[in-house]
Amino acid sequence: MTDVIIVHSMHGNSRNHWYQWLEHNLTLEGYDVTLFNFESPEANTVDQWIEAMTKQINVRKKDTYFVTHGLGSITALKYIEMIDQPIEGFFSIAGFKEDAENIDLDIDLSNVTIDYDNIKKKVDNFLRIEF
């Protein structure tokens, strides 16, 4: 069974937007879904998100996909950079890179770096959807 990990954006939580709908439909299709949830309006640093991810997410096998949105995209990339387990795929929906400017004044990307060469070795497939 394929694992899917859904990571929401900063403004919201796992219960708003389309996250629960996607979890429900993927579960009906036979996927094992983890819906990451981080509710803290003060938590606007990637490090705070990574700390919560390490408590909630367990990448157990290669047959795993991340579905991410907004700040969830960059934090999931940083999380993948830190783990040893390679994964099958990464979907970024309206995500951005750490060098993005004027995304949101509440998001602190200072001192955030992503080792994309490292991540490319761990993720077989990337898909990006932008609005």
Tell me the per-residue pLDDT of 15-52, one tens digit each, with 9 for 90 and over. Answer: 888 999 999 999 999 999 999 998 766 667 888 889 99
Please state the pTM of the whole predicted model: 0.91
- Bridge-partner residues for 36, per DSSP? 7
Q: Which domain holds residue 8?
A: 3-129
Rg of the chain over Cα atoms, rounded to whole angstroms, equals: 14
Number of structural domains in the chain: 1
Tens digit of each residue's pLDDT (9 = 90 or more) over 89-114: 999 998 876 666 666 666 777 788 99
Question: What's the CATH number where 84 sits?
Answer: 3.40.50.1820
Tens digit of each residue's pLDDT (9 = 90 or more) over 49-69: 899 999 999 999 999 999 999
Q: How far apart (Å, rounded) are the C-alpha atoms in residues 82 and 112?
A: 13
